[in-house]
Amino acid sequence: MSTNQASVAASASTTAVKTLFPLLFAISFVHLINDTIQSVVPALFPILKDSLSLTFAQIGLISLMINLTAALLQPIIGIFSDSHPKPMMLPVGMLFTMAGVAALSYATHFWMVMAAVMCIGIGSAVFHPVSARVAYLAAGERKGTGQSIFQFGGNIGQSLAPIMTAVLFVHTGQRGVIWFVLFVTIGVVIQYNVAKWYGNQLALVPASNAKKAAKPVSKLNVTKGKVIFAITILMLLVFSKNVYIAAISSYYSFYAIEHFGLTVSQAQMVLFVFLGANVIGLLLGGILADKFSRRSLIWFSILGTAPFALLLPYANLTFSIILIFFAGLILASAFSVILVYANELLPGRVGLVSGVFFGVAFGLAGIGSAILGNLADSMGIEFVIRCTSYLPLLGMLTILLPSDRKERISR
């Protein structure tokens, strides 16, 4: 091997091991912007319902549109990014988000809102699998920590949505959304610079060897059939997690207004407790995933939420706030761990795993919101909250996942 080749190999090896925290935090910040914009849509539901005279069913369709768009496109983009990585997709995705934000702020009809959220969904579909692939590279050997930092920004963005409704949108209406164009512009600039770093990393490895070099060695030692079975179980767990989160995010504010007599602003603050707990839980989950059994953490995260979720519909306001905090804290710790575990099942397919799991998460949340919206119109909002409280019990399926004890010992 020549001196020049050795230098390139050493550079690639160092990059693979070293955790690049500045880059991870940059991607996390853009994730914050992306998910803040996406969370603005359900945060606006009480405002849009009054200003455009929408039904709960139409609210469910809006949620379905943004989530289904992301769900359908993300696996496709994820597969494409594994085989044909295109760094400049990162800033282009943010431009779609910018177009959606501008359209949403001036939408005067239901169909205009649907078109706007579709653009936001496209931007999110590009962002998640491609950025997750960059985060995977930048994390080095600390995959759980890297994934939690990446997700950390997204969950902060989601938790800010009810605050914005209470502080901003109650006073400005949907026109206040236009200010987010400034934040998306910052995201475009950051993504452009991240894309340049990503392009440089791709240049270190010859195109013919890129796919091979990107593949880590699987340490779970399971057959192809068991991998398919395990991925199916993980998707069911993501189903239970995300439909429950969709129920709380989209409809709990209506439940709090109806059941406890709260104002819109007060109900949004209760929702903020849940989403804020999501942020803390997500960060803890990713850090613990590098130290303990990932299967055990998934078990705890999903099933451990069940007692709090089951008690929530029957508690008074004070206990509801406590219960919703712990439900959000425990449940949020699952997603980073699930992604890292899935990447160990399917080594070298970071884009595919991220695209499928983000896509499934968005798609199930959207479909769940649409179904729950129709149930709320026909059976009442309290019925919806009670029914969805049983979803975390699906966490019992975790026992069917392959053990990662040997992989944990090696770590």
Overall average pLDDT of the 139-147 stretch = 75
Q: Domain for residue 3, yes or no?
A: no
Indicate whether 208 pLDDT > 70: no
The pLDDT tens digits for 258-286 are 888 888 778 878 888 887 888 788 777 76
Give residue 319's pLDDT band: very low, low, confident or very high (50, 70, 90): very high
Domain-located, residue 150:
yes
Q: Which range has the top average pLDDT, 83-92, 210-219, 369-378?
A: 83-92
Q: What is the pLDDT of residue 40?
A: 77
Which residue is associated with the tokens 């091997």?
A: 1
Is residue 211 domain-resident? yes
Phi-psi region of 264 (alpha: psi -120 to 50; beta: other; left: phi over 0): alpha
Task: Examine residue 1 and state whether it is found in any structural domain, yes or no.
Answer: no
| Mean of pLDDT over the chain | 78
CB neighbours (10 Å) of residue 55? 14
Q: What percent of the chain has pLDDT over 90?
A: 10
Mean per-residue pLDDT, 96-122 = 88
Higher per-residue pLDDT: 249 or 359:
249
Whole-number pLDDT of residue 365: 65
Residue 323 predicted with pLDDT over 90: yes
The per-residue pLDDT for 361 is 64
9 occurs within a structural domain: no
The pTM of the full predicted model, rounded to 2 decimals, is: 0.65
- At residue 206 the predicted structure's pLDDT band, cuts being 50, 70 and 90, is low
User: Who has greater pLDDT, 216 or 193?
Assistant: 193
Confidence of residue 161 (pLDDT cuts 50, 70, 90): low
227 found inside a domain: yes
Model confidence at 185, pLDDT cuts 50, 70, 90, reads: very high
Contact 350, 132 (CB under 8 A): yes
> 60-69, 127-136, 347-356 — which is least confidently predicted?
347-356
Q: Check: CB of residue 394 under 8 Å from CB of residue 239.
A: yes
- Residue that wins the pLDDT comparison between 337 and 17: 337
Give the model's pLDDT for residue 210.
46
Say what the pLDDT of residue 162 is. 65
Q: Looking at the predicted structure, is the pLDDT value of residue 170 above 60?
A: yes
Dihedral sign computed on CA atoms, order 321, 247, 260, 166? positive
Q: What are phi and psi of 394, to 5 degrees?
A: -65, -10
Instruction: Give the residue numbers spanning the domain of 202.
Output: 19-410
Evaluate if residue 406 carries a pLDDT over 70: no
> Mean pLDDT, to the nearest integer, of 337-359?
74
Q: Is residue 5 in a domain?
A: no
Q: Residue 157's pLDDT is what?
A: 77
Condensed to tens digits (0 to 9), the pLDDT of residues 6-65 reads 433 334 444 445 778 888 899 989 998 888 888 778 777 777 877 787 777 788 788 778
Confidence of residue 220 (pLDDT cuts 50, 70, 90): low
CA distances from 235 to 83, 139, 401 (A): 23, 24, 12
Residue 347 or residue 89, greater confidence: 89
Of 408 and 307, more confident: 307
Q: pLDDT category, 106, cuts 50, 70, 90?
A: confident
Model confidence at 221: pLDDT above 80 = no
The answer as to whether 95 is a domain residue is yes
Residue 235 pLDDT greater than 70, yes or no: yes
CA count, 13 A, side-chain hemisphere, 270: 28
Q: How many domains does the chain have?
A: 1
Q: How confident is the model at residue 245 (pLDDT cuts 50, 70, 90)?
A: confident
Residue 189 is predicted with a pLDDT of 93
CATH number at residue 43: 1.20.1250.20
Higher pLDDT, 65 or 171: 65
Output the pLDDT for position 351.
Answer: 66
